[in-house]
Amino acid sequence: MTAARESAALNIGEVLARLRPEFPDISPSKIRFLEAEGLIEPARSRSGYRQFALADVERLRYILTAQRDEYLPLRVIKERLDALNGTGGPVRQTLAAALGAAVAADEAARQQPGSGPDPGNAEKAGTAGSTAMTRAELLEAAGIDPDRLAELEDYGLIRRSGRHYGADALEVARACAALAKFGVGARNLRGIKAAAERDISLAEQLVGPQLRQRGAGARAAAAQDAWQIAALSLWLHAALVESGLDEAGLAGGVIVPPAAAPAAQQDGVGGGLRSASSR
């Protein structure tokens, strides 16, 4: 296909052909409805026929994706689009969309032949990336002071094993340090911690029957499912938060890194679950 043809205006049939592989329910009436609602503004030929540029197609793709993956009302989607600057740049991806893409990519990978969990990796994956750090090393890596760390420990946000801290403690400390710049203290994070513990309990409950099986790969399969359930919970949480911010008039996505499969899935299995009481 030549560059001239690629930049030429598309008719509504050609637009449908481009979008239907991703959105089978798309129809001419749907596109006309979105135009009537002011979400798209295709050009018109002299005879009155709609002429869609590639930018219009990408705008439609964003609208349909937001409806399908984030269940956003058209009003909120329009606010997001209106919040974009006039540079013609791509719509900024939201965190919920990135998590949804990661979940979809992980699910697609699991459907490939031979992609099931390897029971032999279960124990190894449980300790993968678990770098032990001393208190001084954690303070330096996270960029926090001893008082801040003590506060995080007092509220149960960070726990150590013996005299050392794991990689998860570093991630928590870094996130809390970033929130502290907005005046968020450890006491304000109790609700987030409680929500995380509920998500863990839900995952443990759902994979419980698998853990009770005696098969060699039962625990590995349960761990893999538990990590996917956790990713789905994060996706839902992000979508709900972003929807609420949009409704509050704080529309606009955030720049996020490209979606990638969860780290635990890269070894084919998660490291198993720890109960909220034993972390």
pLDDT in tens, 44-55: 888 888 999 888
Question: What's the pLDDT score for residue 71?
Answer: 82
pLDDT in tens, 94-143: 676 667 666 766 776 676 666 555 555 544 444 444 578 999 999 999 99
* Ordered domains of the chain (ranges, CATH): 3-83 (1.10.1660.10), 95-266 (no CATH)
pLDDT in tens, 177-224: 999 999 999 999 999 999 999 999 999 999 999 988 888 888 999 999
Q: Give the strand pairing for 50-51 and 43-44.
A: antiparallel
pLDDT at 264 over 50: no
Q: Please state the pTM of the whole predicted model.
A: 0.55
Dist. CA 270–CA 12, nearest whole Å: 46
CA within 13 Å, CB half, 209: 1
Q: What percent of the chain has pLDDT over 70?
A: 70
Question: What's the pLDDT score for residue 5?
Answer: 38
The whole-number average pLDDT for the span 79-89 is 61
Q: Is residue 52 helix, strand or coil?
A: strand
Q: Is 182 exposed, middle or buried (0-12, 13-18, 19+ CB in 10 A)?
A: exposed
CA distances from 277 to 33, 113, 198 (A): 52, 37, 11
Band (pLDDT 50/70/90 cuts) for residue 276 is very low
